[in-house]
Structures are given as C-alpha cells and as structure tokens.
Structure 1
Amino acid sequence: MLGKILLKVLRLFVGFFMCSYGTICVINSSLGAAPWDVFHQGVSYRTGITIGTASIIVGLLIVIIDALLGEKIGIATVLNMIFIGIFMDIIAFNNMVPLPNNKVTGFVTLIIGMIFLSLGTVFYMGCGLGSGPRDGLMVALQKKTKKPVKLIRGCIELGALLVGIILGGKTGIGTIIAALSLGYIMQIVFKICKFDSSKINHKSIEDNVIGIRKHLNRENDMIEEVIEND
C-alpha cells in the first residue's frame, strides 16, 4: 500500500518537473513567449499586477471554470499550481536548459519543450489525482465536445493567445508555432503512450480524505482484533 502511494507521488512530481522543464525550453527558445504567458503579460499590462500574480489569478479562475464544467479538483490540481513554478525557478536558476545559438537550435528547443510538456502531462495526469488548471480545462472540454486533443488544446492555446494580444501581450514566431502545434504534439505523444486523458477517473481532494479515513479505520480494526485475540 505504502509502496504504491510512494510510486504514485514520485510519478506525480516527475510529471511536474517535466512540464516545468518543457516550459523553460519554450521560454529559452527565444522565439517568443508561450500563448498563456502572452495572456498573463496582457493581464499584467492592463491591471498593473505582476505576471506571476496574473498567472496565479488566471489559474484560480480556470480551476473554478473546470469545477463548473464537472472536473474534480484533486490534490494534483493544487500541487500543480505550486510546484510547477518552483521547479521552473530551479531549472532556470541552474541553467538546466542551454540557450540556443541561432534560430534553428531555438526551433529545436521549442519542439523539445512541447514534447516534454506533453510527456509531463501524461505522467502527472496518469496518477488520477487531478489536473492542473489548463489541462483540466482541456479534459473538461474534451469530455463535453467529444473532440480530439489536438483540436481542443489548439483552440485553448489560440484563444489564450488572441486574448493576450488584445490585452497588449507580446508575441513572437515561437508563440504562433506553439499555439498551432502544441495540440498536435500532445495528441501524438498521448497516442504513443496509449494515454486517453478523457478517460482518467480523477480523485478529488474529498475522495482522498475519505480513502485515508477508511484505510486508517481498517488499520484500527486490525489492531483491535489482534489485541482481542491476545
């Protein structure tokens, strides 16, 4: 029991780290900010708050939308919002993603980043402990519309990009590439990994609390039974 929990936690954090690494790859490609970062820039520009604060607020709002669309808010949803940022800082501070020397290596870095983002999503979402805000929105819309990942994710990224541009966020060629291709890359990676994000039955925080209580009650019953037999 404990071994399975530890393996699931390890898989969860490996997934978070891969997502963070992928995000830094996209940033370090120097071809332009990712679509959601353009959105955060636009919110920051219009409101005067920092980009980091804008990211947190937007994330919280999307979580609310996810819940309204029927997605469970799990432990991984909360941990995603905390540790993705922490891992990004660690990766960036330690220069774990080299800066490209030219446009070609920048493009390669961008593609590698999107692959890592996709693989990280498979790892952490496969734990069934909840989705991050934006991944949760993708899954919710996928379930509602029955459309493929490439279309749903592509529309989400393009939507975030367009709103970000309207709000004053800055873009680059990499931004356009990411918005148009991330959904396709995710679909390819999901297919290779035989992963269907719409069929994962995530456990909510309440489900996990109930599960822990049941496990503790069983442990107590076993102890009491041993004591009575003695």
Structure 2
Amino acid sequence: MPSTKKTLHFISSALATSISVGLIGYGMSTKWVITTMECAQKATGLYNGSAEITLALFDGILERSSCPLFGATDRFQVIPTLAGREVASVVLHGLVLCLLALCLLFSACSILISLYNSVSNPYETYMGPVGVYICSSLSACLSVIVLILFVVNISATNMAETFVEKYTEGVPVALKGKASVMQVGYYLVIPYTVLSLIAIALIYTYEHAAYTRKKEQQKPTEDAPMDLTMY
C-alpha cells in the first residue's frame, strides 16, 4: 500500500485535473468571442449599419442593425455555415475542436492514473507518475495551441465576414472595422492549462521528496569506513 503522503499527493493531482476538466467543459458550452463590424451596401459605401456576432464553439448569434437594409437576429451552426464558404476557417475551427477533445481525453487518463497511484505503486510502468507527466503535459501544451489557433482564426481569416454575408438577404455588403473581444469560454482555457501544470507539480513534489529521502537514508552506508561496511 502507498504511504499517506503519496496518496494525498496523487488524490490532489486528480482533484486539480478534475477541476480543470469541469472548467474547460463549461467553457466549451458557452460563448468564446464577440465580434463587431461596420456594415454598408457595396453600392452606396455608406457605413451606417453594424453587425455583431456572438460566437460559441458550435453555434452563434448574428445581430444586424441596418445591415444592409434592415435589422435581424439570426442563429446559426458554426461548421455547417462555414462549410463550402471559408475553407481555412473550417479547418482551423475543426482543429480547435479536435484539440479540445484530446485535452479532455488526456485529462481523463491523468485522473485515472492518479487515482490508481493513490492506492498502488506501479512505479516502473507508464501507469506510474510518468503517465501523469505525459498526459497532463500534453493537455497543457494542446490547450495553449487551442488559444493560439482560435485567435488566429478570428483575426486572420474571414470567418466573421462569412457569417454576415450568409444572412444579408442576397444584398452585397461591405464590412470594415472588425473588432473582437474574447469571452469567458476562451479565458477558461487558461486556468485549465494552469491546473494541468499544477497536477504535474504535485506529483513532481512528491517524487522529489521521496528521492531526497531515499538518498539521505543511503548516506550513512556510503560514508561508513570500508572495514565496517564489510560486516
């Protein structure tokens, strides 16, 4: 049976990872960004309208005011709306979703390995602390990539413009002044990353303390005179 100290460290690691999963799970269900743009009919060039897109990972809401003629509120699904219109946005958004799914998978593995180690001592296999290091570090790295890719997709592609053009009643529009504000769903990825690193730190702290204690126990034998160690 593992020591009480080991059990506490691994249970704490599992708890930190569980909290991170809860945070990112909620984040995936809520809005990630709000983008606003000035809108005008291409024929007039008069930017007297506006469009606001509230975007989550799977769906969104488009609110138009005099864009191009009248105002309206439209709900849409992200991937189906982008499909066949903006290839780069579809690829990047799909990649974000896949990476988030992998984050959840690796976090689940980290939780299971931590709980297993809290009642067992599988040090020589990947079911030991090494497994936690690998799974939690992959979760942290992938979540950072998610943060970068999502910002790139919002700022460097025409994803937002594509949503507006889809619902402008067939009237050609000109859009400018795009401004995006990240929302709670996006920012919840950051504590997820931090908690994944904390899970690693908790296991490393225990491992380092156990290694130091083991080395200290070996010192009396190593420092003893040769004639004494022979008996």
Q: Give TM-score, length-normalised by structure 1.
A: 0.31
Which structure carries more strand by proportion?
2
> Greater helix percent: which structure?
1
Q: Which has the larger radius of gyration?
A: 2
